[in-house]
Structure formats: C-alpha cells, structure tokens
C-alpha cells in the first residue's frame, strides 16, 4: 500500500484507509469476533467471503437502494467505497425470532417496541418482518432501541426512511435466499449520508457476520437453528464456559476448518459461484 494512503482506523474486522476526501478503502481481515470480542485465531479467507458476498448483494440490490461500493480490488478483500457520514444506529430487520430478539421477547413480549403475539417459539417466523434498530456502542454491546430512541438519534424523517429501505432490502434478499433453500432470519445494515444528504447503504451487506442464514430443510422452530454463520464459533466459545470478555479463546483447527467451510458454503450457495472462481477473479461477484 502506498504511503499516501492514510490509515483512519481499525474496526473489529476491517481496516479503514482514506484514498482521498471522497473515497475510502475498506480492507476485510480474516479476524472473527464473537460476543463483540475479537478472537486470537483467524479464519483463512473469511475477509474475502465477506467482501465477495457484500459486493454481490450491492450489485443485486443497487436498483433498490444506492450503495457505497465503487470498486472491488484484485485481492478479493479490499473495496473502494464512497466516504459517508455514518448514521449512529444499526439497522436490523428480523423475520424470525432469534438472538437478542428472542431474549427481549421472552423478557417483555416486545422487540424494540414491537408488541408480538404471545406464545411464539424460539426461531419462529414473525407475522411480518420488523425493523429493530440498535445503538452503535463504541465499547461494549449494542443495545436494542425503539422508534422514539432511534428517531432521537437520527431524526424522524431519516428514521422512517431507513426503516422503509431496510425492510425493502430484507424482503428482496430473503425472497432470493428462500429460492435457494436458505432462510434469512435477520440482518444488520448500516447507512450513511453523502455530501448531498442522500442515504446510501454502506459497510457490509447480507454476510454471515451481519446476518443469520439457516438451511430451510433443517428448520425446526422451538430452539436455536443450525446455520451458515458465526453460530458454530459462538457455540464452541460458550461450551468452554468463557465469560465473553477479552481475551477470547484460541480456536482449535477443527473449529477453524468448520467455520471456514460454513462461510465458503454460504458464499457459494448464495452467489451460485464457486469460491475458487472468486479468488481467481473477484469481478465475478458483481455479475
Ligand atoms: N462508506 C463508509 N463510510 C464511512 N464509514 C464506513 C463506511 N462503510 C463502513 N464504515 C464504517 O467502517 C467500519 C467497519 O469496520 P468493522 O466492520 O471492522 O467495525 P466493527 O467491528 O463493526 O465496529 P465499529 O462499527 O464499532 O467500528 C464501521 O465502523 C463502519 O460503520
Ligand atoms: Mg462491522
């Protein structure tokens, strides 16, 4: 990388560089985080899977919502993006009751202010997808918030706009995934605002890090589901009785391999492209 490229910061997974005033370089590492802790062991090629899948979905949904993707680089893990003012909320859409949504429902019968029917099971499909935003915690865990708290952070008009766009994106991608035998249980999106004040979809989109993907043929509501996402690593970490604070546990080789296989499986099933073809020519993800 040339010296003129300025390193802006490191996220848990990505390195951010400024190419100029308008453009960022986002480089996805092979780091994996569970329960907001970056683990000491990397998953080979994970950053390429995230980058390729995001690029694929940006290309697929570009007509629905403008996004930040400008160019995908040869290494398969770096993208040139429009530099945006990010909104301070995570835009989560849930079609099924899992994770913190399930926990909130058990405790209150609601998720982010949406009152839900009584007697729902863990992982059950909701009557309709709901928008369930969260704060972007600088440290610690993101917190689920309701409409009033979200609107206080981004403004009423923006809130309504990101809710509508997030639900549209979820519906579009979950319909495509369903045709491939995959349930998109929930997903997290991030939006930014460009210099003209327009909303732009940013960050990563519909990857195993930002979404729960379940194989439809194994779907059994009433408990957690097998998945193509991080659940395999989460389960391993929880089996150790780890307290979910730094430092996280090292992953043994079989957990690394099993995780890598799940990420690549998700890439291949969702894009219909062999991962080896993506490595040889990342441009194939753009269709
Ligand atoms: N187009 C963009 N313009 C500006 N910032 C962006 C853009 N796309 C993504 N980002 C930001 O880049 C960072 C990506 O890094 P990463 O995903 O590793 O972070 P993270 O672990 O999710 O944690 P955090 O979001 O709290 O930094 C995020 O902070 C995200 O909001
Ligand atoms: Mg992130």
Residues 6+ apart with CB under 8 A from 282: 48, 51, 52, 55, 72, 73, 74, 75, 76
CA 187–ligand 1 middle distance (angstroms):
16
CA 11–ligand 2 middle distance (angstroms):
7
As to burial, measured by CB atoms within 10 angstroms (0-12 exposed, 13-18 middle, 19+ buried), residue 202 is: buried
147: its two tokens: 């409409």
Ligand nearest to the CA of 33: 1
- Structure confidence by residue, pLDDT tens digits, 165-191: 999 999 999 999 999 999 999 999 999
Residue of minimum CA distance from atom 29 in ligand 1: 11
The pLDDT of residue 3 is above 80: no
Mean pLDDT of 205-218: 96
Residue of minimum CA distance from atom 13 in ligand 1: 11
Helix (H) or strand (E) holding 56: helix 46-61
47: its two tokens: 């950053």
Tell me whether strands 182-193 and 134-135 are parallel, antiparallel or unpaired. Answer: unpaired
Ligand nearest to the CA of 26: 1
Residue of minimum CA distance from atom 26 in ligand 1: 138
- What is the band of 32 on the pLDDT scale with cuts at 50, 70, 90? very high
Mean pLDDT of 74-103: 98
Q: How far apart are CA 230 and CA 228, in angstroms?
A: 7
CA 184–ligand 2 middle distance (angstroms):
18
**Residues flanking ligand 1, CB < 6 Å:** 11-14, 16, 24, 68, 81-84, 86, 136, 190, 192, 202-203
Is residue 5 within 8 Å of 12, Cβ to Cβ? no
Residue of minimum CA distance from atom 11 in ligand 1: 203
Could you give the maximum distance between any two Cα atoms of the chain, in Å? Answer: 58
Predicted confidence at residue 1, as pLDDT, reads 55
The pLDDT of residue 211 is above 80: yes
Distances (CA, A) of 240 to 183, 235, 237, 286: 29, 9, 5, 40
């Amino acid at each position: 990388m040339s010296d003129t490229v300025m390193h802006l910061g490191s996220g848990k997974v990505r390195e951010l560089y400024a190419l100029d005033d308008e453009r960022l370089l986002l480089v996805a590492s092979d780091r994996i985080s569970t329960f907001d802790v970056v683990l000491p062991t990397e998953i080979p090629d994970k950053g390429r899977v995230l980058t390729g899948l995001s690029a694929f979905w940006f290309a697929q949904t570009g007509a629905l919502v403008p996004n930040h993707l400008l160019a995908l680089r040869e290494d398969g893990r770096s993208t040139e993006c429009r530099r945006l003012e990010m909104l301070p909320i995570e835009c989560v859409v849930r079609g099924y009751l899992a994770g913190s949504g399930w926990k909130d429902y058990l405790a209150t019968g609601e998720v982010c202010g949406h009152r839900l029917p009584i007697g729902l099971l863990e992982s059950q499909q909701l009557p309709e997808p709901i928008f369930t935003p969260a704060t972007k915690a600088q440290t610690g865990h993101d917190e689920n918030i309701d409409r009033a708290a979200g609107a206080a952070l981004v403004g009423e008009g923006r809130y309504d706009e990101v809710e509508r766009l997030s639900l549209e994106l979820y519906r579009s991608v979950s319909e495509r995934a369903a045709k491939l035998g995959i349930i998109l249980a929930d997903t997290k999106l991030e939006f930014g605002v460009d210099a003209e004040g327009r909303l732009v979809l940013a960050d990563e989109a519909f990857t195993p890090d930002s979404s729960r993907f379940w194989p439809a043929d194994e779907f059994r509501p009433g408990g957690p589901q097998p998945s193509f996402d991080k659940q395999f690593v989460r389960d391993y970490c929880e089996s150790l009785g780890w307290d979910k604070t730094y430092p996280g546990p090292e992953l043994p080789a079989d957990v690394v391999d099993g995780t890598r296989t799940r990420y690549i499986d998700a890439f291949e099933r969702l894009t219909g492209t062999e991962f080896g073809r993506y490595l040889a020519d990342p441009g194939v993800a753009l269709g």
